[in-house]
Amino acid sequence: MHEELIVLSDEQGNPIGTAEKLSSHHADTPLHLAFSCYVFDADGRFLATRRSLAKTVWPGVWTNSVCGHPAPGESFTDAVERRLQEELGMTARDIEVVLPRHVYRAPPFHGIVEHEFCPVFVARADSLPRPNPGEVAEHRWMAWEDFVLAASGDTADTFSWWCKNQLREIAEPLGAR
């Protein structure tokens, strides 16, 4: 089995080492590099995804289109493209960072804390999603305003904590897209 590595980082996003991904996610997860991406189609609809129930971290919750961790030496843009293909079987263009220095530490969810230096990206879909069921349980194209309203009002962990946290900073600016 392939051992996936994450890149450990300092608060400025500078790499300081690597660690095995699954064994590093626990109640005291070290700060590491990650990304979130919000994908829109040509009509301006947003692609929401619900994480597979097989996921170790935040299974079964709705969230942004795709997220993940860059591999050692991999750029964030390359990581976004790779995870779009792995999770959603799709491609995107016009990938741009909208929150370059987003850092968060989520409260525990099933005993696991996420602690990430997590730039946030937006992109335009180039193809339709063909989700990998091991990664994505459901997906839905929807109006951005509807997604923001649903996620912002969530108190039951129906949506991922990181997504709700990011929406506090990006909801209004992305609504103008």
Active site residues: 67, 116
- Both ends of the chain: CA-CA distance in Å? 42
Backbone φ and ψ of 107, nearest 5°: -65, 160
Output DSSP code: residue 112: B
Q: Determine contact, residues 86/98, Cβ cutoff 8 Å.
A: no
Q: Determine contact, residues 125/39, Cβ cutoff 8 Å.
A: yes
Helices (H), 8-159: 21-24, 76-88, 144-152
**What crossing angle do the helices spanning 144-152 and 161-175 adopt, rounded to 10°?**
140
Output DSSP code: residue 29: P
